[in-house]
Amino acid sequence: MRILLPYGEGTIEFEIPENIACYTVSSKLPIGNTIDQSKLIDEALSNPIGVPKLDMVLKRSDRICILITDRTRATPNRTILPILLSHIERANVDKGNIDIVVANGLHKPMSRSELEEFLGSHIVSEYNVTNHLADDGDSLKYIGRTRFGTELYVNKVVTESDFKIAVGLVEPHFFAGYSGGRKLILPGVSGVRSIYMNHRFEMIAHPLADYGCMGGNPVNEDMMEAASMVNLEYTVNVVMGKDKSIVYASSGNFTEAHRKAVDLLSSMVCIKVPFQADIAITTNGGYPLDRDLYQAVKGMVTASRITKEGGVVIVVSECRDGVGHSDFKELASMYRDPYKILEYIKVNEPLRDQWEVQKLAQVLCKNSVILVSRGIREEEALNMNLMYASTVEEAFEEALRIVGRSNIKVVSIPEGPYVIPMPPSAR
């Protein structure tokens, strides 16, 4: 069986030997390149869910804050923002009263040139565009404490605005269930302390802090409460097809509009798998999500869901930006035993990037992971308890050696974390 694995902005081809049973997980997401992308956004804004149209609720005197995802997400901001801004300006809101905040969470902020490339130079020059800096205490305001105990510090530009709009991409998320909507507040524009508390060990360790889980997931429910406390009025959500074109858009009330997008996406990405794999071959979905190893943990978690205890996960990820986060690298390299890393996090939290390392360690306690990447040095991978191979062929040969038995079963997941494989036990 021939499989094509997204890798950076291209693909890698691999042939599964004919004598090996293989199942390929494929979402039901359509191809969106025949759909008028701008029309989808305009129709969503013209038909908001649970709230009136923007031109009916906004006033000229309102200070508007638009929250957008950072560059690690494939949100088509260049398509969405101009249409959203035109709807806002129909209410005679001055451009000077519109702030656009990049909800970086703990990710690296962008330079002006990067912002221009990301959003378009006309957006950056005509509007107040700023990066959220989670470590800048002076830029944050304390809002209160959630019922989960999270102390909520939020960007002052957001808290001081009269009307808040979150623009997000809805996709599977490995501990929040799905991205988009409320996630633009926490972690998007929250302070480092708030993010640490939402992502703390006991929250991430909860069995429902997983792909596709919303109800009963403490991470998600904490995020929802935070968004309510900040009074997030409105959200714009998009679902992307297999070609990363928009196939669905919703707008309106931050819970209802997001839920509508989640329900649609769930019906297309939760895919039943007939057996658990001895070897799973996955990706991180290609660029931009596979731009660093930090993000590539998502693909590993996806594959581990349907891989037997003691089985092997092969993850193919370009990682053009290397590891991505130095704290993640340091913590994941602390011990050669993932159980010791988990114990260290539990005893010594809060630690920056501990949630990513915790998820990685959970996978490594169950499976061996072989990384195929030209952006990561072999020594780096080995130090982080990963195995390393220069090609998929080499990785597969090593996986066969580790499994060490005949009649093995292979599952391939070319879409990586953009799909949620459901093992037989989860049906």
Residue 211's nearest CA partner among 299, 302, 274 is 302
- Angle, vertex CA 359, rays to CA 184 and CA 24, nearest 5: 90
Give the C-alpha separation, 185 to 356, whole Å.
Answer: 19
Give the C-alpha separation, 152 to 198, whole Å.
Answer: 9
β-strand pairing of 368-372 with 387-389: parallel
- C-alpha distances (whole Å) from 332 to each of 344, 378, 383 are 11, 15, 8
Catalytic-residue membership of 199: no
Residue 303, H or E segment: helix 293-304
Rg of the chain in Å (alpha carbons): 21
Residue 293's nearest CA partner among 258, 332, 331, 322 is 322
| Spatial CB neighbours of 92, under 8 Å, sequence gap ≥ 6 | 60
Residue 187's nearest CA partner among 235, 238, 226, 131 is 226
Residue 69, H or E segment: strand 64-69
Give the C-alpha separation, 48 to 71, whole Å.
Answer: 26
**Exactly one of 87, 107, 132, 199 is catalytic; which is it?**
107
In b/e form, how buried is each residue of 3-29, taking b as 16+ CB within 10 angstroms? bebbbbeeebebebeeebebbbbebeb
Give the C-alpha separation, 164 to 149, whole Å.
Answer: 24
Catalytic-residue membership of 173: yes
Amino acid at 357: V
Please say whether the beta carbons of 229 and 143 come within 8 A: yes
Give the C-alpha separation, 269 to 249, whole Å.
Answer: 16
**Exactly one of 132, 173, 199, 258 is catalytic; which is it?**
173
Sign of CA dihedral 136, 142, 143, 144: positive
DSSP 210: S
Amino acid at 360: L
Q: How many CB atoms lie within 10 A of CB 60?
A: 9
Amino acid at 91: A
Q: What size, in residues, is the chain?
A: 427
Q: How many CA atoms lie within 13 A of 108 on its CB side?
A: 12
Indicate which residues carry an active-site annotation.
107, 173
